[in-house]
Amino acid sequence: MTTTKSSHDDDSLDFGKVEREAKSMVDYDERYWLENSAKFRAVEQRVASYDEFREIVMAAHLKPLEKEDKISSMGVFTQVWNQSALKNPQKDGNYSNGNPDTSDMTNHSTVKVPKTGQEFLQHWKRECKTLEQKRHFIMAIGSVKIQELFQIEINGGLLGEFVDCLLHDFDESETKCVIELLESLSKSQRFSLALAFLSKKEKENLAALFEELCKLQHSQESIELKERVAVLKTLYRV
């Protein structure tokens, strides 16, 4: 009886996948250094407020439009940075330009999981117009994927926005999920930097969120959760 030896030639290598992963790593590294430079530049300029500082950092990767750029590209840009749209969504929950309403966001099965932190940020700014939409989106992504996406840095001032949406309409039934998300975020390599740039209001919301997390009913599971909350309070300096 003879056997056929397998060779490395039999193994199929997906060069397209390797190329995409390499490009993603390059893009992420480039974005990090752009944002890092923007932080130092904002400090040197002595910006008037934290919001102005964050806008400078979040816009670090944007490039001026060339003459041949299409008008449609400008439309995408205004949607991402339209602060009035972010702060004043329509009361009935419906949005123009095809944006989903809150009821669509509650269906977690329809959420497309982003592959990179940049993809997450794009969806966060373009599609999640309200705190409730943001909350459902981050809940749908889950703590494991969040840790993967932000293992290096929680970029663009997102930490404060995460805190705001997790505090919004807090439900005790989701306590464990919130704790897991906070744990994942705290494992980011540059977590302390993100924490340092929280605004005064965001720090107040963070304290309020931990107050909600501490309101656990007495049970065996709640004892374990309270211990995890105590650890998180130290990590988040609450």
At 24, the pLDDT band (50, 70, 90 cuts) reads low
Query: Where in the sequence is the domain holding 172, given as residue range(s)?
Result: 86-238
Alpha-carbon separation of residue 230 from 10, 140, 159, 185, 225 (angstroms):
53, 25, 19, 16, 9
Sign for the pseudo-dihedral over CA of 184, 24, 97, 88 = positive
d(CA 99, CA 93): 10
**pLDDT exceeds cutoff 50 at 70:** no
d(CA 196, CA 9): 51
The answer to whether 32 and 151 are in contact (CB under 8 A) is no
Residues 98 and 52 both lie in one domain: no
d(CA 20, CA 17): 5
Residues 49 and 130 both lie in one domain: no
User: What's the whole-number mean pLDDT along residues 27-43?
Assistant: 67
Averaged confidence pLDDT in the chain: 74
d(CA 62, CA 75): 14
Residues 23 and 133 both lie in one domain: no
Q: Is 199 strand, coil or helix?
A: coil
pLDDT on residue 98: 37
To the nearest whole percent, how much of the chain has pLDDT over 70? 55
pLDDT digit string (tens) for 137-186? 999 999 999 999 999 999 878 999 999 999 999 998 899 999 999 999 99
Q: Nearest-CA neighbor of 79 among 98, 103, 57? A: 98
Which domain-ending residue is among 32, 48, 63?
A: 63
- Say if 77 falls within a structural domain: no
